[in-house]
Structure 1
Amino acid sequence: MLDKLAAIHDRFRNLEEQLSDPSVITDMDRFQKVNKEYKKLQPVVEAYHQYQELLGNIETAKEMLRDPEMKEMAEMEMEELKPQRETLEEEIKVMLIPRDPEDERDVIFEIRSGTGGDEASIFAGDLLRMYSRYFDEMGWKYELLYENEGSAGGYNKVVVEVSGEDVFGRLKFESGAHRVQRVPRTESQGRVHTSAATVVVMPKLEMEDVDIKKSDLKIDTFRASGAGGQHVNKTESAIRITHLPTGTVSESQDGRSQHKNKEIAMTQLLRRIQEQKREEHENKLASKRKSLVGTGDRSDKVRTYNYPQNRVTDHRIGLTLYNLDQIIEGQVGPVIEALQLAENAAKMEEGMV
């Protein structure tokens, strides 16, 4: 661990020198990249300095133990320092867990009503409100790209672009089926019904991230169809993109403009190609680690919201909380953080640190 920390410290100093280099300062793109990495390493370096100081204090206390007059005080000092070292070592181990590069990406966030008719659409609207308040709490920016409202309220489908710090790293756990158990507004006899909505979280990717060429892409425009707002059926704003070497196709008519549809379709296409490449690589290695996030398939039931018991259960980690009234109003952070902790623990068990 000390070797890793020393290497990170050397890299941090190198970045610090670059930030005062005139050639870096005048190149805004390079400066932002260097500054971003510098800030990311800063907490680790601070913990490293704290750890070095703690180890130094422990060595001093050990030397004091040899002096009969100082022994009692040294023993008391060691009793305080050892737990501090253990705690700090655990914190540093978490810091050293390799991060998925995609965690820092912005996302395309989709909520779609599932089984349950009108109640499912209403629940999709409840989820959008919950997440929107969470986005606000995190200081993230978000833009509504598409909305198809349900006949009794809520949404049949809604698509939001979310941007900020560590967006995918937190929201990736939300992909899958979310189930609600409650008495619907339309239920006259007070019976509890089960409905569902699905969430899909896609990290925004660029072509260089997947290493494909513009010349390999065929882009077609067509007129959007179906419900979705006043912009539909009036212009050829829908986009279809084909990756010629693999035959992978992606299209979007959800955005409010051709530009947004191109962005959504490109994100979907790059994601699909990336997943194909990743699967090919994993098959060659013959070692697939089951991710906590799951496949992202809409059939993966990830969470149940039970209103009669004021209960939320995340099925992947067996977490049950009895504060649904707070969570549905935007306090979903503790659930997401528990999922992050579980993923980190799994990585540590696999020896990634």
Structure 2
Amino acid sequence: MDIEAKLKQIKSRFEEVTTAMSDPAVFDDPAKYTELTKEHGSLKELVDDYDNWMDLKSRKEGNDELISMDEDAEITEMAKEENKEIKDELIKLEEAIKIKLVPKDPEDSKNAIVEVRAGTGGDEAAIFAGDLFEMYRKYADSQGWNMSLMSLAESEKGGYKEIVFSLEGDEVFGKMKYESGVHRVQRVPATESQGRVHTSAATVAVLPEVEDVDVHINTADLRIDTFRASGAGGQHVNKTDSAIRITHEPTGIVVECQEERSQHQNKEKAMTMLRSKMYDIELEKKEKERAADRKSQVSTGDRSAKIRTYNFPQGRFTDHRINLTLYNLDNIMKGDLEEAIEALRVQDNLEKLNELSES
């Protein structure tokens, strides 16, 4: 990869975008201005890295000149010492730039729909599903994302048999996509009288939220049923048939929404879920094909794979895909997920970078 040539192209494009943004005519087209602003923001970090890289190279060349002249022993030695530091900085900066140059997944900027379901473990699995939901809710708050409930089924002993919610904000799917898979918990359940550690599980599915243009659905293929909402949900519960269940008959996909007060709002949300599920089927096929080629540990496309263990007695959080172990489980359960997600993103980008280098 010719880093300098690539960065020159990026800087040239950055200058074009900057010029375009200063044109008064662009303010008459809000969509265009928003597009330019996003591109400007995405390019700026790399342009700053390029300027820093060129500055380091310039300083090194100046030191090389002093070393070759060798007119003063002390100055020559200082130049040599500084060059050692500059070389280390250049190596680190080049590695960071290479990762940033990996093409972004177009799905990453999408919003997401997250489904958390209790797995093996009975009541404790449902309680753990509730804990995962709270973890994601707090993480979403820390990211400035908006969360909206779509569907839930509560468990009698606490937690949820299933809870579905949407997340809206910057780079939601790009971060949350690594959460898809089986999450295992090891702890003494509140329902356990003997104090024994039990192992339970919950599954998480993260789907990119898509628009009508991304997926075509024939309305003739849909069966739409209404029913009364149940469980938590406010005064409208059990009074009106506002809840919606949609079945896509060719695929057998069933979605339902009951969290809104009106049938119309619930239908809109249910259709959003349906589009995302159908889109995700194709996306998962592509991921499996890519994973077969890349032998990726991070994004295998296998949603049934065990990805994490949350060990409460030891305060240990382990992500099995990248052998990451952290001993700050309490903070993680309070939404401090950034370190784990960033480690997964870096590993994913490194795999993509290796793929680019080999092609």
The equivalent residue for 2:244 is 237
User: 1:95 aligned to 2:104?
Assistant: no
Unmatched 5+ stretches in structure 2: 260-265
Distance 2:238 2:54 in 1: 61
8 Å CA contact 1:170–1:336 kept in 2: the answer is yes
RMSD between superposed Cα atoms in Å = 2.6
* Residues 241, 269 of structure 1: 8 Å contact kept: no
CA deviations on 1:11-65 (whole Å, 9 max, x unpaired) are: 1111112212334221111111111011001000111111111111111111112
Cα shift at 1:345: 2.1
1:296–1:232 Cα change, 3 Å: farther
Separation of aligned partners in 2, 1:144 and 1:218: 26
TM-aligned CA deviation for residue 348 of structure 1: 2.5
In structure 1, list runs of 5 or more residues that go unmatched: none
Mean Cα displacement is larger for which, 197-206 or 58-67? 58-67
TM-fit CA distance, 1:233: 7.7
Among candidates 95, 115, 120, match of residue 120 of structure 2: 115
Partner of 1:334: 339
Distance 1:231 1:310, change over 3 A: same
Q: Does 1:190 align with 2:195?
A: yes
Correspondent of 1:105 among 104, 107, 110: 110
Identity over aligned pairs, percent: 41
Q: Secondary structure at the match of 1:190?
A: coil
- Give the distance between the partners of 1:224 and 1:300, measured in 2 at CA: 34
Does the Cα contact within 8 Å between 1:178 and 1:302 map onto a contact in 2? yes
State the TM-score, normalized to the length of structure 1: 0.88
Q: Distance in 2 between matches of 1:217 and 1:275?
A: 26
- Any idea what the Cα deviations from partners look like across 1:258-307, whole Å, max 9, x if unmatched? 1111111122122224555x479x59xx963344122252x211111111
Classify 1:232/1:78 alpha carbon distance in 2 versus 1 (closer, same or farther; 3 Å).
Answer: farther
Measure, in 1, the Cα distance between the counterparts of 2:46 and 2:10: 8
- 1:170 is matched with 175
CA distance in 2, matches of 1:25, 1:34: 11
Q: Once the 2 structures are TM-superposed, how far is the Cα of residue 224 of structure 1 from its aligned partner? A: 4.2
Distance, in Å, in 1 between the alignment partners of 2:180 and 2:227 is 26
Question: What SS does the corresponding residue of 1:350 show, helix, strand or coil?
Answer: helix
Check 1:85–1:259 CA distance in 2 against 1; reply closer, same or farther (3 A cut). same
Q: 1:236 to 1:87 in 2, by over 3 A?
A: closer
- After superposition, where does 1:151-166 map in structure 2 within 5 Å? 151-166=156-171
Output the amino acid matched with 1:12. F
- How far 1:101 sits from its partner (Å)? 1.1
Mapped to 2, the partners of 1:30 and 1:251 lie a distance apart of: 37
- The alignment partner of 2:213 has SS state of helix
Aligned counterparts of 2:197 and 2:334: Cα–Cα separation in 1 = 21
Alpha-carbon spacing, 1:323–1:215, altered in 2? closer, same or farther (3 Å)? closer
Q: Which moved more, 1:308-317 or 1:286-295?
A: 286-295
Which of 308, 312, 318 aligns to 1:307? It is 312
Q: TM-score, normalized by length of structure 2?
A: 0.87
Aligned length: 342
- Give yes or no for contact 2:222–2:247 (8 Å, CA) kept in 1: yes
- Whether the 8 Å CA contact 2:225–2:245 is kept in 1: the answer is yes
Determine the C-alpha separation between the residues in 2 that align with 1:274 and 1:294.
12
Distance of aligned partners of 1:218 and 1:19 in 2 relative to their CA distance in 1, 3 Å threshold: farther
2:254 equivalent in structure 1: 251
What is aligned with 2:28?
26
- Kept in 2, the 8 Å contact 1:310–1:324? The answer is yes
- Whole-Å Cα distance in 2 between the matches of residues 87 and 288 of structure 1? 28
